[in-house]
Amino acid sequence: KEYAEISLKDIDQLAKTSFPLCMRHQFDKLKEDHHLKHGGRMQLGLFLKGVGLNLDDALAFWRAEFSKKVGLEKFEKEYAYTIRHNYGKEGKRTDYTPYSCYKIISSTPGAGDHHGCPYRHFSEENLRAALSRMGVNSRATEDVMNKVRNRHYQVACTLTFEALHGVPCDAGINHPNQYFSDSQKILHP
Ligand code: SF4
């Protein structure tokens, strides 16, 4: 699937309006900690590639955060490679595909990891707090929590999408990049 290119200067705004909670959470944690572990770098990095961040902008994006924590030299030595790798520029030159909801929901994040699906992997308290930060109202939050209790994580994400965009999403959410492109279609028809 092809996406129009997005520019680095718009990314903070896009994260607020059009990232699903899984990506929004990792994005916020990266900005807060200036670091993400491997699982997060893969999940968020491939998503950003999918939304149309080109390789140079992706390197600038990760460099700006990581260099605050590990320094520029270590970033270039240890982390830049994986980013180029995700874009198929290193190693086997495989062009890696962004992860689907199914793959993310099936992942098993450990302590200190921020990847995974918040509907599946957050505690109820953390999920409620995250939904409230996103601007989901309390009635919609209860509907979301009901779906989560029944393990319908993608339906919970779809309800979040509908609450935030004010329109139905009949197809349902099955991919974070689909969440993004559907959101952009509504916001910029
Ligand atoms: Fe992300 Fe999919 Fe979970 Fe939504 S359902 S938060 S898009 S993994």
Does 78 map to a domain? yes
Q: pLDDT digits over 49-70, tens only? A: 999 999 999 999 999 999 999 9
Does 180 map to a domain? yes
CA distance 91 to 47: 20
Task: Look at residue 3 in the predicted model and tell me its pLDDT.
Answer: 52
Last residue of a domain, one of 56, 86, 116: 86
**What ipTM, to 2 d.p.?**
0.99
Estimate to the nearest angstrom the gap between the alpha carbon of 97 and the chain centroid: 14
Task: Look at residue 25 in the predicted model and tell me its pLDDT.
Answer: 98
Number of domains in the chain: 2
Residues 80 and 30 in one domain: yes
Residues 39 and 116 in one domain: no
Does 96 map to a domain? no
Residues 70 and 121 in one domain: no
Higher pLDDT, 158 or 189: 158
Task: Look at residue 54 in the predicted model and tell me its pLDDT.
Answer: 93
Report the largest interatomic distance among the alpha carbons of the chain, rounded to a whole angstrom: 49
Residues 171 and 131 in one domain: yes
Residues 119 and 82 in one domain: no
Task: Look at residue 55 in the predicted model and tell me its pLDDT.
Answer: 94
Helix (H, G, I), strand (E, B) or coil at 175: coil
Last residue of a domain, one of 86, 112, 135: 86
With the most atoms of ligand 1 within 8 angstroms of its CB, the residue from 100, 119, 178 to mutate is 119
Determine how many CB atoms are found less than 10 A away from the CB of residue 111. 5
Q: Which residues line ligand 1 (CB under 6 A)?
A: 20-22, 101, 104-105, 117-119, 153-154, 157, 173, 176, 179
Range 34-58 average pLDDT: 95
Residues 106 and 151 in one domain: yes
- At residue 48's C-alpha, the angle toward residues 186 and 179, to 5°, is 30
Task: Look at residue 5 in the predicted model and tell me its pLDDT.
Answer: 82
Determine how many CB atoms are found less than 10 A away from the CB of residue 129. 12
Model confidence at 94, pLDDT cuts 50, 70, 90, reads low
Does 169 map to a domain? yes
Determine how many CB atoms are found less than 10 A away from the CB of residue 25. 24
Range 77-106 average pLDDT: 87
Residues 107 and 133 in one domain: yes
Q: Position of tokens 């969440």?
A: 179
CA distance 189 to 184: 8
Does 69 map to a domain? yes
- What residues contact 167, with CB distance under 8 A and at least 6 apart? 186
Last residue of a domain, one of 60, 86, 112: 86
- The full length of the chain comes to 189
Residues 124 and 167 in one domain: yes
Q: Are 164 and 187 in contact (CB under 8 A)?
A: no
Measured by CA distance, the residue closest to atom 1 of ligand 1 is 22
Q: Rounded to the nearest whole angstrom, what is the distance from the C-alpha of residue 111 to the centroid of ligand 1?
A: 20
CA distance 38 to 25: 15
User: Tokens representing 74?
Assistant: 């270590």
Q: Are 47 and 101 in contact (CB under 8 A)?
A: no
Residues 107 and 160 in one domain: yes
Give the atom of ligand 1 at the shortest distance from the alpha carbon of 174: 2
- What sign results for the dihedral spanned by CA atoms 99, 105, 111, 112? positive
Q: Which range marks the domain in which residue 106 is found?
A: 101-187
